[in-house]
């Protein structure tokens, strides 16, 4: 199936193509190709076994934001705002730029680019652009703390696992711009902090790893950068959205914008006893000195065996969905 503005394309909008794909009751593996262009639409996809491929420079953009008002005058909330929502499993997303262009500030609040409520999903060579809460990796926590319900896009399916692999991607934002409860590996990605309006502190991750889940976020061989204007020592690696947050950085290169303490407890010292924050091979100008400045309740991976535990083949043990290559749907995987 082909989306684009040319006369030979099957559909002119991504939403029309998705609606057609979801009418296919067989749900056989399918590929959706999108020709170069900017598509200003909110895309909601529930079906499994789908590969979405951008051909050339493809951007999906929308500008919904949490403080936007609905027809009843109520704020729509964070989870109504994603430019792209994925609710299925066995998905591949390649060569797309997905943007939430709402901006930032008190009148905007959170504005999600990708809501990944999905399992066994690969993002490859993608660009995710936004400010606060750019990428949400499901599942949601059991209950919200500040609202009666999370609201937002309806969830038709709840997965036993939420496993996601991000390879060669660019993800930008200001506050908690990678957040959620998934088991997610980010490999060879650029994680870019943007200037926070008003000069506020930045946070890269806000994991909500469920109690008992073995892995949360794993960043391997990534590059933590900042746009010009981001102050030195103004961005934390993470803070816990929920008390059992797990986040690991392995062999990552970090700019001077990263705060020497590394981690924040989200104004709750009790979180320090329950989170699992680890680093190995942090690359800076003075890594030894940096280690001594990290908060005492975060840890370090000390040996190669522990490093090996955080490789994709171990994090995603039992499934081969994360392996790269065009034959994704041909992988010998009992779950497919």
State the catalytic residues: 176
Q: What DSSP designation does 10 have? A: S
Residue 146: Cβ within 10 Å count? 5
Residue 312: Cβ within 10 Å count? 18
Asked if the peptide bond before residue 139 counts as cis, ω within 30 degrees of 0, the response is yes
Query: Rounded to whole angstroms, what are the CA distances from 75 to 80, 109, 111, 229?
Result: 10, 10, 12, 31
- Please spell the DSSP secondary structure of 204-255, one letter per residue: EEEE-PPTT-S--EEEES-EEEE-TTPPTT-EEEE--SSTT-EEEEES-EE-
DSSP SS3 for 120: strand
Distance of alpha carbon 182 from the chain centroid: 9
Residue that is written with structure tokens 């609201």 in the block: 151
With residues binned 3-state (H G I as helix, E B as strand, rest as coil), the percentages for the chain, rounded to 5, are: 10, 35, 55
Name the token pair of 124: 């490859």
Is residue 201 within 8 A of residue 238, CB to CB? The reply is no
Name the token pair of 284: 């800076």
- Please spell the DSSP secondary structure of 45-64, one letter per residue: E--SSEEEEEEEEEEEEE--
- Please spell the DSSP secondary structure of 256-291, one letter per residue: TTB-TT-B--TT-GGGGGT-EEEEES-BSTTHHHHH
């Amino acid at each position: 199936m082909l989306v684009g503005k040319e006369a030979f394309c099957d559909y002119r909008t991504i939403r029309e193509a998705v609606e057609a794909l979801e009418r296919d009751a067989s749900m056989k593996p399918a590929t959706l190709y999108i020709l170069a262009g900017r598509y200003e639409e909110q895309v909601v996809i529930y079906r499994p076994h789908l590969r979405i491929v951008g051909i050339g420079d493809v951007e999906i953009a929308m500008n919904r934001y949490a403080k936007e008002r609905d027809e009843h005058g109520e704020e729509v909330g964070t989870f109504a705002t994603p430019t792209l929502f994925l609710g299925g499993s066995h998905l591949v997303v390649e060569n797309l730029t997905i943007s939430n262009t709402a901006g930032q500030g008190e009148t905007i609040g959170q504005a999600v680019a990708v809501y990944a409520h999905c399992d066994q999903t690969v993002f490859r060579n993608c660009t995710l652009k936004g400010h606060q809460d750019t990428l949400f990796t499901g599942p949601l926590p059991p209950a919200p703390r500040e609202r009666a319900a999370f609201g937002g896009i309806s969830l038709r399916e709840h997965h036993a696992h939420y496993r996601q692999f991000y390879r060669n991607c660019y993800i930008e934002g200001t506050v908690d711009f990678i957040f959620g409860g998934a088991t997610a590996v980010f490999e060879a990605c650029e994680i870019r902090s943007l200037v926070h309006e008003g000069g506020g502190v930045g946070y890269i991750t806000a994991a909500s790893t469920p109690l008992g889940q073995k892995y949360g976020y794993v960043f391997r061989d990534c590059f933590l950068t900042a746009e010009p204007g981001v102050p030195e020592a103004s961005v934390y690696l993470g803070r816990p959205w929920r008390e059992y947050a797990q986040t690991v950085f392995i062999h990552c290169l970090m700019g001077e914008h990263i705060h020497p303490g590394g981690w924040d407890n989200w104004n709750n010292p009790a979180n320090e006893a329950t989170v699992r924050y680890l680093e190995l091979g942090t690359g800076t100008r003075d890594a030894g000195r940096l280690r001594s400045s990290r908060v005492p309740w975060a840890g370090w991976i000390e040996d190669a065996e522990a490093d090996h535990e955080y490789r994709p083949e171990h994090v995603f043990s039992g499934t081969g969905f994360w392996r790269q290559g065009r034959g994704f749907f041909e992988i010998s995987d009992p779950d497919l």
